[in-house]
Every structure is written in C-alpha cells, then in structure tokens.
C-alpha cells in the first residue's frame, strides 16, 4: 500500500466518524455523511444551514419565555392593587385579556420549542402520542378561554377561569417533560417509573390547588378566591416559563456545539486532501512576487 492510499484511508475514516454528529437517535443529524464527495458537500451544507436556523429559533423562543415572565410579574402587580383599583374604567377587562392571551401565546411557544428542538419528539418523551395529545389540549383550551374573555368578560369569566385552571394539568405535564430533558442534559439520571409518578402527582397538585382555591373561597362570586388563585397562577407560570427558557437555551447551545464540530470536521477534511487554505495561498503569492 503506497502513501497516497494510506492518506485516502484516513480521510474516509474522518468522514464516517467525526462528521456523524449525534444529537439524539432520531434526527437528521444522525444520518451518516455520504462517501461521495459531491453528495457529502450538499449534505454538509444543508446541516450547517439547518443548525444555524435551529440555533436562532431556539434563541428567539428563549427571549419570548423571558417576556412571558415579565408579563406575569406585571399581572402580579395588577392583582396586588386590589379589586377597587381593577374596577376603575376598563382595567379589569384589560387585566384578564393580558392574562389569557399571554397564556395562549406561551402555550404556542412551548409547542414551537418542541418542534424546533434539535432533539426528536421521541427523545424528549417516550410516548409521543401522549405528548401530542397534551399539546393539543393545552393550545385548544388556552385559545378557547382567551376568546371567551374577549367576547364577554362578564358572561364567560368564571367558565374561562375554570378551564384555565383545569388546563394547568397539561401545562404542568409539559413543564415536567421539559425539565426532565434539561436534567438529562445536565447529567442527571431521571429515567424510570418514579419520574412518571412524580410528573403525574405534580400536575394534579398544581391543578387541584388552583381549582380548590378559586372555588372554595368563592372566587366565581367575587370572593377572595380569584385574587389568591391568581397569585399561585402567575407564580407557577413564571416557573413554567423559566423551565422552557432553560430548554430552549440548551437547544441553542446544542446546535452551536454541533455547528462547531461540523465546521472543524470540514476543515480537517480539506486539509487532509490537500486543499489549499487562504493562508497558504497568500503565502505562495508573496513568494511569487
């Protein structure tokens, strides 16, 4: 075997191993790079563009999560001002519009964070059907509640709050799933039945607590149950936004790491086959002059 064949063999190993970036076991990133040089260039270019796109979208979603935290802080302040302050002019209607439409917008952010994640749905949760069902209920219920409040606050306020607090089950479930992904990314082993049991208990506690406070303290009839339930609601949703923010930022950083790996692999491949780099071309040009 001559020296040229040995060099070609090393290039082939680099292409088949180092450029096969594992983000999870069910995404476009795990498809091996073709051995054909032309096809390899096309696939590599597509992956670089796709990773850059996913990184940017995950960053934007993380910013939206921070905006939602700020919205909940504003709602907490408005809720603290009391019923008399909210009763002036149209403040109560504005307060509920912000509350319900922001919740719907955040449910959409959670869905897009799953869609634009570099991980597959199967890698995020073992039962994709359950996850899709929860997402469907989350988006549909939050949009319906927001629409009812917009049509008539006086007529549909109680119904919208009942639906919203019951929907905390789906929101809490998504939060636990995203938190599990973030924890696994950090190196914690949380697989097993105990984690599923914890997720179920946590989601039920969140929903039952808010529904119980709202109804048992006469929230539907203007009692103290509504403002107290609002405190729990805004605190929980701020925590939910913080979890989603961590999930989106982890996705962005994962895409950035994969980008660096692909770029490094591409540079090593060009160097191995003897492709001149810009520095070497400039050096030869100076020597010729």
pLDDT of the residue at 93: 94
Please state, in angstroms and rounded to a whole number, the distance separating the CA atoms of residues 214 and 216.
6
**Token pair of 124, please?**
């995020």
Residue whose C-alpha is closest to residue 109's, from 161, 178, 166, 164:
178
| CA-atom Rg of the chain in angstroms | 26
pLDDT of the residue at 151: 95
pLDDT of the residue at 270: 66
pLDDT of the residue at 41: 67
Q: For residues 240 and 85, is the Cβ–Cβ distance under 8 A? A: no
pLDDT of the residue at 161: 93
Q: For residues 262 and 47, is the Cβ–Cβ distance under 8 A? A: yes
pLDDT of the residue at 146: 96
Angle at 119 between CA 269 and CA 28, to 5 degrees: 45
Buried b or exposed e, range 202-233, using 16+ CB within 10 angstroms: bbeebbebbbebbbeeebeeeeebbbbbbebb
pLDDT of the residue at 288: 43
- On the CB side of 215, CA atoms within 13 Å amount to 12
Indicate the SS3 state at residue 23. coil
Q: From its phi and psi, is residue 274 left (phi > 0), alpha (psi between -120 and 50) or beta?
A: left
pTM of the predicted structure, to 2 decimals: 0.77
CA distances from 28 to 52, 120, 129, 149, 179 (A): 14, 9, 21, 42, 24
Residue linked to tokens 């973030």: 182
Per-residue pLDDT tens digits of the chain, which is 289 residues long: 444 443 333 333 333 333 333 344 445 555 555 555 566 667 777 788 888 999 999 999 999 999 999 999 999 999 999 989 998 889 999 999 999 999 999 999 999 998 898 887 777 777 778 888 888 999 999 999 999 999 999 999 999 999 999 888 888 888 888 888 888 777 776 665 666 677 677 777 888 888 899 999 988 888 889 999 999 999 999 999 999 999 999 999 999 998 888 888 767 766 666 555 444 444 444 344 3
Please state, in angstroms and rounded to a whole number, the distance separating the CA atoms of residues 74 and 152.
23
């Amino acid at each position: 075997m001559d020296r040229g064949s040995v060099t070609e063999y090393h290039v082939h190993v680099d292409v088949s191993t180092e450029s096969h970036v594992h983000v999870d076991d069910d995404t476009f990133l795990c498809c091996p790079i073709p051995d054909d040089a032309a096809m390899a260039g096309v696939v590599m270019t597509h992956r670089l563009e796709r990773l850059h796109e996913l990184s940017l979208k995950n960053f934007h979603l993380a910013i939206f999560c921070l905006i939602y935290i700020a919205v909940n802080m504003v709602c907490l302040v408005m809720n603290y001002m009391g019923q008399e302050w909210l009763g002036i002019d149209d403040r109560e209607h504005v307060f509920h519009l912000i509350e319900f439409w922001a919740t719907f917008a955040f449910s959409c952010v959670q869905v897009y964070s799953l869609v634009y994640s570099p991980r597959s749905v199967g890698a995020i949760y073992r039962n994709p059907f359950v996850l899709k069902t929860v997402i469907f209920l989350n988006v549909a219920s939050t949009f319906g509640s927001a629409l009812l409040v917009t049509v008539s606050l006086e007529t549909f306020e109680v119904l919208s709050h009942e639906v919203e607090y019951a929907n905390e089950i789906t929101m809490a479930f998504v939060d636990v799933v995203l938190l599990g992904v973030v924890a696994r990314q950090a190196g914690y082993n949380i697989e097993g039945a105990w984690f599923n049991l914890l997720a179920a208990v946590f989601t039920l506690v969140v929903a039952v607590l808010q529904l119980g406070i709202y109804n048992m303290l006469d929230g539907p009839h203007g009692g103290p149950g509504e403002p107290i339930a609002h405190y729990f609601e805004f605190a929980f949703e701020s925590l939910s936004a913080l979890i989603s923010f961590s999930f989106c930022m982890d996705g962005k950083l994962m895409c950035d790491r994969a980008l660096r790996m692909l770029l490094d692999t591409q540079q090593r491949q060009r160097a191995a086959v003897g492709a001149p780099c810009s520095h070497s071309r400039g050096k030869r040009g100076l020597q010729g002059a």
